[in-house]
Structure 1
Amino acid sequence: MESQDSALHVVVGIDGSTSSHAALRWAVSHAKLIGADVVAVAAWDLPGAHGWSAPAVDADFDEEIAEQGLVDEVRTVLGESGAAHVRKRLVRGDTVEVLLSEAEGAAALVLGNRGLGGFRRTLLGSVSQQCALHATCPVVIVRPTVEVEA
């Protein structure tokens, strides 16, 4: 999708969850305070591409549809005018690896506390935990009940 440059920016992980929507709103609000751009990042990969199982091909995945879905999701959360100021990136790869890479040099990495996958009993999702442990920038983990004005 759109390329990332060296300008001050805040990276936010988007996955369709309520938590990631709260994170997007928080990232936009924070970016306004510090004069930064917002980069919304969604990661995708083929099932079985990481791990011991043989890679499977997802015949139903369409990257163009996924890119449009990301654009639509950001527009739904922020409205047309808010979405126009957010760079959108759909990147193939392991979610943690993609987010850590995209956040290199960022002012912050903002994530929801729990995404669409994982176990409900965990306080933080494994993606947010791994990013908090390994990111080279500050990491903010937002709960979906946090409401901020964008």
Structure 2
Amino acid sequence: MDRDVSERRVVVGVDGSPSSYEALLWAVRHAGLVGATVEAVAVWELPGLYGWSGPAVDMDVDEEEAGQRIRTEMAEVLGPDAADSVRTRVVHGNTADVLLRAAEGAEVLVVGSRGRGGFASALLGSVSQHVSQHATCPVVIVRKEKE
């Protein structure tokens, strides 16, 4: 992943959850204040296969279609003009690992407090907890406000 090291970047993990949308909004506001570019990263993996070395599994996921879906969701959350200024990437792999790699050299990594999986009552999801402990840049964890 070649990057312009002089470019200020805010990396945000998005997964379609309410807290990831709050994280996206926070990342865009923060990037506007510090003159940075927002890079939204969506990660997909087949559940239960991380670290498994069994026979090859058909992972027929259309990354282009997934990328279009995330851009559509971002336009709904941010509005079309703001969404156009956000770089999007859809990456296959372990969510925490992908986000940590994407955030190397970033100003900040922004994630929601809980994603779509896990326990609804948990205050902090496994990905949020992992990246907060291992990131090489500051991490902001954003909670969805109660409705």
Q: Any unmatched runs of 5+ in structure 2?
A: none
Displacement of 1:96: 0.4
Number of the residue aligned with 1:11: 11
Range that drifts further, 50-59 or 70-79: 50-59
Alpha-carbon offset, residue 44 of structure 1 = 1.2
Cα distance, 1:48 vs. partner?
A: 3.9
Equivalent residue letter for 2:43: A
Deviation by residue 1:73-100 (Cα, 9 ceiling, x = unmatched): 1111111100011000111111000000
Cα deviation code 1:17-57 (max 9, x no counterpart): 00000000000001111111100000112344313473643
CA contact (8 A) 1:17 1:116 kept: yes
Instruction: Give the structure 2 partner of residue 63 of structure 1.
Output: 63
Determine the structure 1 residue equivalent to 2:116: 116
Give the match's secondary structure for 1:89: strand
Other-structure match for 1:81: 81
Decide whether the 8 Å contact of 1:46 with 1:56 is kept in 2: no
Identity rate, percent = 55
Deviation of the 1:121 alpha carbon: 2.8
Residue 33 of structure 1 corresponds to 33
On the 8 A contact 1:109/1:139 being kept in 2, the answer is yes
Number of matched residues? 143
Calculate the aligned-residue CA RMSD, in Å.
1.8
Instruction: Report the AA paired with residue 49 of structure 2.
Output: A
Once residues 126 and 112 of structure 2 are traced to their aligned partners in structure 1, the CA distance between those partners, rounded to angstroms, is 11
**One-letter code of the match for 1:51?**
G
Where does structure 1 differ by over 6 angstroms across 4 or more consecutive aligned residues?
none
- TM-score by structure 2 length? 0.89
Q: Distance in 2 between matches of 1:64 and 1:44?
A: 13
Q: Which amino acid is 1:80 matched to? A: P
